[in-house]
Amino acid sequence: MKRISLWIIPFLLLAVLASAQEIKRPVFFLRYDGGTKFEKLDEEDEESAFDYQRHKITFRIKEQWSDDFTTNLYTTFFLKLYDESSDTDYWYFYLNPNYIWDITDRLRWSSEFRSKWIWNYDPEAKDELDLTSLRAKTELTFKILEQLKIIPSFQGVFDLDSSPEASQQIYTAGLRLESRINSRLRLNARYRAIVRAPLGEPSDVSGEDKHEFGINLSWDPNK
């Protein structure tokens, strides 16, 4: 009974968010990307040999529950195969649900939760590749003024490798500023702090602390 009640809670929340508004039908997107690579056997010879092929299929479901609340579900399947049998052939699959919630005219909250699994294409490969990557990200958009937005964000990634020595955790805190000085001039700035650390006692991943920043100024004299 408790499990059933836990499942009911999210649906009740969505019903409240979408109250007094008509829920639109879901929108479906399907995309395929592929590619091949050929390498020259000799610089003086134009003959080339096939190296690898890759295939990627992405499926997305968009559901607009109300004018203020939208959810998306992304699923992706990727496969990479080399011409010669190799332990480097691999494939991955991930699920990435997210939501965008306009709480007020000046505040937007969005979050996403991604689960990614990577495996060797050949289950008997000597160099075993078995990785589970979990990511959670949340972001707030504050519209301070009509022409000024401040966007703080936080993200956590947990890579659980089949080899405990390679497991790691990565945290990223960011801050973006988007402004329109006038109709012709825009100024954007961003800052990110990234911290990497080992995950679990057996992990020998080295700790890392990075800081990134940038400024973008654009001017359009036609406006």
Return per-residue pLDDT of the chain as tens, 223 residues. 444 454 455 545 555 555 555 678 899 999 999 998 877 766 666 666 777 889 999 999 999 998 899 999 999 999 988 877 665 788 899 999 999 999 999 999 999 999 999 888 776 666 667 789 999 999 999 999 989 999 999 999 999 988 888 899 999 999 999 999 888 899 999 999 999 999 988 998 899 999 999 999 999 888 7
Residue with tokens 């689960």: 115
Helix spans in 112-192 (H): none
C-alpha–C-alpha distance, residues 65 and 20, integer Å: 11
Residue 86, number of CB atoms within 10 A of its CB: 15
In this structure, are residues 49 and 41 in contact, taking their beta carbons and an 8 Å threshold?
yes
DSSP class of 153: E
Strands 45-64, 27-42: pairing is antiparallel
Helix spans in the chain (H): 2-17
pTM: 0.77
- CA proximity to 190, closest of 219, 216, 218: 216
Rg of the Cα atoms in the chain: 23
Residue 78, number of CB atoms within 10 A of its CB: 17
- CA proximity to 15, closest of 52, 88, 69: 69
